Amino acid sequence: MVGSSHEALHRIFQKDPALLTRALQRVLDVPFPEPREIAALNVDLTEIEPVERRVDTLLRAETDEGTYLLVVESQGKVDDRKRGSWPYYLSYLYEKYRCEPVLIVITQSSATARWASRPIRLGFPGWHSLTVRPLVLGPDNVPVITSERQAERDVPLAVLSAMTHGRGPQAPAILESLASALRTIDPDSAAVFVQFVDSCLADPQAKQMWRDLMTAIQYFWRHPLAEQVREEGREQGLEQGLEQGRAEAKAEMILHILEWRGIPVPDAVRDRVSICTDLDQLELWAQRAVHANDAAQLFPEE
């Protein structure tokens, strides 16, 4: 089970290695050649000396233009020690595998992204012995995917969007579209993606909304993370059968979305949503809640 956003941010590329090259091509506009094959490699860069060094994720991409090592580093904050370790990683990997290493940094922080994108130059001014230029994926360039159709076209990219933009006013639409898209892929892959997103949502309201959304997806209940959610439900007295629990979770999700977006919820609206047991009706109200400017807009027919 993924335990932190640091792990999720780079392990998504182990789950779907091709997502990394798509991100380079579409997000960063880097003309990386189309790989014929991508394989995960050992991330341990430890030498004989007792100094342990590990990259986060290491992939080998075979292309018509040559073989490349894709070195993925998940970065939570500014860390100037990377000025020494990143050049070391690239030099060591080139020496070991004799193919070109490419450094990709992924972060949820715009400030960290700006720091990581600055070239690392070693040497004296005017004559640098070594220059490292990381490629950086972060909230300023990863696309915000709020359309269900767009999410379904590239589910891993939609997962990356949710992991990167899991806070702010657009988060409800991002998470809602991704929840719908997850129903279109195989349950085992979807369950892994559920973990990745859950690990990266630092905002408590966003995390609760995501878990509310996931309770409505039946396969989710087979996953270890579901046991944690079920246990929380038991403590709150909400475990009253799967069908009723799904309706209650969907109703709570609708109210969470409205409250999170700063929209006042009158008692009449709260009561009507809370007592509804029609999952199709609740799904329709949930879609309206993402875009509504007033709670009454859940019921436009009135």
Q: What is the mean pLDDT for each group of 10 consecutive residues in the chain (302 residues)? A: 73 85 87 86 65 79 93 93 92 93 94 95 86 95 92 94 85 90 87 88 85 65 52 51 69 81 86 87 83 85 70
Task: Give the helix, strand, coil percentages of the chain, each rounded to 5.
Answer: 55, 15, 30
281-285, long-range: CB within 8 Å, 24+ apart, which pairs? Answer: 282/247, 282/250, 282/251, 282/254, 283/250, 285/254
CA distance 24 to 30: 5
Q: Residue 18 belongs to what H/E stretch?
A: helix 17-26
What pLDDT is recorded for position 228?
57
pTM reported for the whole predicted model? 0.69
Contacts of 13 (CB under 8 A, 6+ apart): 19, 20, 57, 59, 70, 72
pLDDT for the residue 157: 94
Alpha helices in 141-203 (DSSP H): 148-153, 155-164, 171-182, 187-200
List 276's β-bridge partners, or say none. none
d(C-alpha 25, C-alpha 18), whole Å: 11
Q: What distances in angstroms separate CA 97 from CA 24, 35, 92, 102, one per listed residue? A: 22, 18, 9, 13
Strands 57-63 and 120-124: unpaired
For residue 28, the one-letter residue type is L
The total of other beta-carbon atoms located within 10 Å of residue 163's CB is: 24
- Both tokens of residue 96? 């070991």
* Residue with tokens 């999410």, as numbered in its chain: 151
Identify whether the C-beta of residue 298 lies closer than 8 Å to the C-beta of residue 267.
no
pLDDT value of residue 219: 45
pLDDT digits (tens, 9 = 90+) for 10-64: 888 888 888 888 888 888 888 888 888 888 888 776 654 544 568 899 999 999 9
Length of the chain equals 302
